[in-house]
Every structure is written in structure tokens, then in C-alpha cells.
């Protein structure tokens, strides 16, 4: 299987400052790829570049095998794109939106659309502009899912959705990616949702992709280590580069091991020969994300 999204040195600068910096992104076909990073990291800019809304300053991107600068109607018929700041036709009701979108997509699926309408529980006679934020998101999702796109690009899809709809939405996407082989590229700050959903994770910080790997391998290689230091024990000045966010509070010392392999314990023993207990604990994706975000915020490259 190939990559549905692939970028090469993709760069976008605003007034000389890179918002996306030589990005090499690969999103495998059939994956649910979560694109994570702090505010202003470059997630939306990346997505706009992929969707041909912005033009790269340098480098290139391919989406569904086509250079992003050439994405047109044919590709958009296979891409479902929902973004936080999308312009919506506020004067339409949901049935009007459905009737408006349907002729544009040869693969529009009426049965699936009806199922989504029931699931999303949207009113028929309210104009989109009078709907709550969550309802608007649901309407946009509906109009982007009903034609069964090969690629679903979601920029912050969960904000404004209540927990029940989030849950149904996640279940729906999981079900569909499994049965239809969809690829989903989703930027989000909602780590708990992402943890349930994603099988691939990319982390972007200050425009640069810091990691991109399977969620399982990411979580396998991160561990929290916490030790109680004996009286008088010192923490060495130079710690292994694999140790993220080391922190000392009194006798307690903790860090996040970012390469939990055969040498992880050796590294620990060489730093703290007098400490016997070595008890690595697994991290949730949220804890992993926080460790990475704090690590890079601290100026790490």
C-alpha cells in the first residue's frame, strides 16, 4: 500500500517566517493519522497546503497521487474536508445542503446519508446559520461523509461536539475505515479522542515534524520512570538524550524515557548506580503528548 499523502520539503512562510518547515509527511493508505502539535505549530497551514488552499513557498505535496497544486474537482470528489473555519452556506437548511451537495459527487450514497442524518439528529427546518457550533460541524461532516470519500481530512473536528456525538462520530469513523479502507488525516487537540481513533501519530512543533510513527510503537517506546534518590545522591549534570523532561523534587526524580529498549535500564543504572528500583510505567497518549510538548517547548530540537 502506498501513501495517500506525501510531502517533500514542504515549506510555507508568512513574512519570511516558516509556519511549515521542510515537512516530510507520509500518510499510509488506510491509516487514521492524527496530526498533533501545540497552538500555532503549523497544523492548519499544512492542511491548507494539502488542500490547495495555500501555495507552498517551496517544496511540494502529493495527495491521492496528484501534486497538491493540481488538486481539482476530480480529487475533491474523493476527499472529504471539514475544517473549523470552513465557510458554510448559512442560508440553507440541512435538506437543502444535502440537495445542493449531492449532484457534485458521483459516489453520493443516499442510504448512508440517511443513516448519518439519523445518527447526527439534525433539525430539518433550521437554517445552518442559526444552528449551534456542534450542529454546524455535524452538518458539514454529513455533507463530507455521504459520498464515501477515499480520504477524509479533518481539521479540529471534535471542537463543539458533545461527548455522545464525539463517541458516535469516532465509532462511525472506525467502522468505516475498517470496512471501506478510508484514510483519515485528522488534526486535533483532543488527545483522548485521538487515542481511541488513530493508528498513526505525527507531532509537529514550530513547523517541523518531530515524529511520525504508528501509535503503538510510539507508546511502546515511551515510559515514565520515577525513583526515590538516597540521601546525598546527586543527579548527573549530563543526562542521556533519550530522557525527556527530567525533573527533581526533593528525593524524587522522574523522567520520560523516549527509547524504551534493551539499553534503557543500562542507561538508568549508569546514571544512578546506587538506586535499586527501576519501575518503568506505560504512558497514555495524553501523557506522551505532554512529555513531547514540554520537551520541545523547553527548546529541544
Ligand X SMILES: Nc1ncnc2c1ncn2[C@@H]1O[C@H](COP(=O)(O)OP(=O)(O)OP(=O)(O)O)[C@@H](O)[C@H]1O
Residue 18 C-beta: closest distance to ligand X, Å:
9
**Judged by CB, which is closer to ligand X: 80, or 207?**
207
Question: What is the grid cell recorded at 173?
Answer: 469513523
CB-count burial class (<10 Å; 0-12, 13-18, 19+) for 251: exposed
Smallest distance, Å, CB 296 to ligand X?
13
Q: Please report, as ranges, the residues that interact with ligand X according to CB under 6 A.
A: 14, 19, 37, 39-45
Tell the smallest beta-carbon distance from residue 198 to ligand X (Å): 16
Give the residue ranges of DSSP H helices in the chain.
Answer: 43-50, 73-76, 94-101, 110-120, 133-145, 163-180, 191-197, 215-221, 264-271, 285-297
Residues whose CB is less than 8 angstroms from the CB of residue 9 and which lie 6 or more positions away in sequence, other chains included: 22, 23, 24, 58, 59, 60
d(CA 8, CA 133): 35
* Closest separation in Å from C-beta 275 to ligand X: 39
Q: How far is the CB of 292 from ligand X (least distance, A)?
A: 14
Query: Measured from the CB of residue 21, what is the shortest distance to ligand X in angstroms?
Result: 10
Note whether 143 and 97 are within 8 A (CB).
yes
Q: Reduce the DSSP state of residue 149 to 3 states and report it.
A: coil
Cα dihedral 273, 275, 276, 279 sign: negative
Q: Closer to ligand X by CB, 189 or 254: give it.
A: 189
* Residue (7 or 224) nearer to ligand X, CB: 7
Residue with Cβ nearer ligand X (155 or 257): 155
Amino acid at each position: 500500500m502506498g501513501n495517500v499523502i506525501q510531502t517533500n520539503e514542504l515549506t510555507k512562510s508568512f513574512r519570511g517566517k516558516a509556519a511549515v518547515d521542510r515537512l516530510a509527511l507520509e500518510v499510509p493508505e488506510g491509516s487514521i493519522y492524527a496530526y498533533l502539535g501545540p497552538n500555532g505549530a503549523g497544523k492548519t497551514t499544512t492542511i491548507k497546503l494539502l488542500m490547495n488552499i495555500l501555495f507552498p513557498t517551496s517544496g511540494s505535496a502529493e495527495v491521492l497521487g496528484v501534486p497538491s497544486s493540481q488538486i481539482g474537482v476530480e480529487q475533491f470528489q474523493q476527499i472529504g474536508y471539514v475544517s473549523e473555519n470552513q465557510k458554510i452556506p448559512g442560508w440553507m437548511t440541512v435538506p437543502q445542503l444535502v440537495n445542493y451537495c449531492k449532484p457534485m459527487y458521483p459516489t453520493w450514497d443516499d442510504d448512508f446519508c440517511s443513516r448519518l442524518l439519523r445518527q447526527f439528529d439534525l433539525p430539518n427546518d433550521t437554517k445552518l446559520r442559526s444552528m449551534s457550533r456542534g450542529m454546524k460541524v455535524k452538518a458539514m461532516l454529513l455533507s463530507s461523509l455521504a459520498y464515501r470519500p477515499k480520504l477524509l481530512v479533518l481539521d479540529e473536528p471534535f471542537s463543539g461536539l458533545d461527548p455522545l456525538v464525539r463517541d458516535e462520530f469516532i465509532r462511525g469513523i472506525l467502522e468505516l475505515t475498517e470496512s471501506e479502507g478510508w484514510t483519515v488525516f485528522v488534526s486535533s487537540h483532543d488527545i483522548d479522542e485521538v487515542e481511541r481513533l488513530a493508528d498513526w501519530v505525527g507531532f509537529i512543533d514550530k513547523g517541523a515534524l518531530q515524529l511520525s510513527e504508528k501509535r503503538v510503537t510510539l507508546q511502546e517506546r515511551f515510559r515514565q520512570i520515577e525513583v526515590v534518590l538516597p540521601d546525598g545522591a546527586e543527579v548527573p549534570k549530563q543526562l542521556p538524550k533519550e530522557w525527556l523532561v527530567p525533573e527533581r523534587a526533593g528525593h524524587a526524580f522522574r523522567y520520560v524515557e523516549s527509547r524504551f529498549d534493551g539499553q534503557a535500564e543500562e542507561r538508568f543504572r549508569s546514571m544512578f548506580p546506587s538506586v535499586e528500583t527501576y519501575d518503568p510505567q506505560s504512558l497514555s497518549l495524553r501523557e506522551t503528548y505532554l512529555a513531547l510538548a514540554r520537551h520541545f517547548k523547553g527548546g529541544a530540537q
